[in-house]
Amino acid sequence: MHYGSATDPFYASSPEDNQARLDYYGIFAFPTVMMDGLYDCWPLATMQGYFDTRMAVPCNLGISIAAVEGSSETSGTLQITLATDIGIDTDATINAMLTESGIEGTGTYASQGIDYNYGLRDNLFGSAGQTVSFGASPETLVLNIDYTIDAAWAWDQLYLTTFVQSPVDDQVLNSSMLKMSDLLGTGIQDGQAGTPPVFTAGPSPSSGSITVFAEAPGQTCIVSIYSMDGRLVAETGSSGTVQIGSSGVYVARLRTSGGFTASRTVVVIR
């Protein structure tokens, strides 16, 4: 969150979008660090505990983003694919925010050589975001959103931060952060880009041997397996078999180089 003042270069660059986020959370004091919309991680010593808590929560929503063919460093269209692996039956709000890093500080920060990072430049879906509705069965939603890059922004320092948030409890259901320059290498030409990867993990229940398979054309895949307390117990690439030594419920989480994430729950009985 950035301080609501004209002397803050990031706030001043997009006051409406920044103020909307401050108002959303009811923030009037700084610094404030929010994690997944649920936890205020100030002081920062609390962050690791909250992170571990959130990592233990299964994620049933995948986000995949690609630049439509013809998109450039000045303007274009992004295709955002949201895919659920179970029915989550809820309305949510999607935000896609352009942020910039490496901006020289002002005042005291300038004298100390401190740069600003990940400052909000533009919320592509508008200050309030856009409502998306998920049904009671697994489904895939595809949204196209246009972008325009201000000539004053440094292209190689621009990032797209996309997140889907519940309006009920402010929980972030999933998020993605990608460098804009990397996205231009995923232009849609044959209609297949943005298609959610294939991802399986099982059997469930299992006696301890879990086989994972992930396939995402043109992307690398990493599958991490976590215990319910957030502990990383195994990791593999797009395919492999891992051994789990203790009974319990585990979450297999897929991450691709294109920014897609998904999870599967596996029960181990030994």
Query: What pLDDT, on the 0 to 100 scale, is given for residue 231?
Result: 80
- pLDDT over threshold 80, residue 1: no
Whether 15 is covered by a domain: the verdict is no
Query: What pLDDT, on the 0 to 100 scale, is given for residue 211?
Result: 92
Whether 192 is covered by a domain: the verdict is no
Same domain, 72 and 98: yes
User: Tens of pLDDT along 234-258?
Assistant: 999 888 999 998 888 788 888 888 7
- pLDDT over threshold 70, residue 185: no
Same domain, 205 and 102: no
Mean residue pLDDT of the chain comes to 83
Least confident segment among 85-89, 150-154, 191-195, 226-230? 191-195
Q: Cβ(212)–Cβ(96) under 8 Å?
A: no
Same domain, 116 and 208: no
Same domain, 115 and 145: yes
Mean pLDDT to the nearest integer, 5-22: 78
Number of separate domains in the chain: 2
Query: Pick from 131, 160, 186: which residue ends a domain?
Result: 186
Same domain, 179 and 68: yes
Query: Pick from 123, 151, 186: which residue ends a domain?
Result: 186
Same domain, 104 and 164: yes
Q: What's phi and psi for 96, nearest 5 deg? A: -130, 105
For CA atoms 265, 160, 49, 37, the dihedral sign is negative
Whether 41 is covered by a domain: the verdict is no
Pair of tokens at residue 146: 């246009």
**Alpha helices for 178-247 (secondary structure H):** 180-183
Which has more pLDDT, 90 or 106?
90
Find, among 80, 83, 99, 102, the residue nearest to 21 by Cα. Answer: 99
Full-model pTM:
0.68
Same domain, 109 and 225: no
Whether 214 is covered by a domain: the verdict is yes
User: Tens of pLDDT along 24-70?
Assistant: 888 877 778 888 889 888 888 888 888 888 888 888 888 888 888 88
Whether 34 is covered by a domain: the verdict is no
Which residues, in sequence order, are CB contacts of 213 under 8 Å at separation 6+? Answer: 198, 199, 200, 201, 238, 239
Find, among 81, 78, 100, 54, the residue nearest to 229 by Cα. Answer: 54
For CA atoms 60, 125, 79, 35, the dihedral sign is negative
Pair of tokens at residue 37: 């919309």
Same domain, 176 and 242: no
Which has more pLDDT, 38 or 4?
38
Whether 52 is covered by a domain: the verdict is no
Same domain, 132 and 206: no
Query: Pick from 134, 155, 186: which residue ends a domain?
Result: 186
The domain that holds 227 is classified in CATH as 2.60.40.10
Same domain, 253 and 165: no
Whether 148 is covered by a domain: the verdict is yes
Whether 125 is covered by a domain: the verdict is yes
Same domain, 159 and 221: no
Same domain, 176 and 235: no
By residue range, what is the domain housing residue 243?
198-268
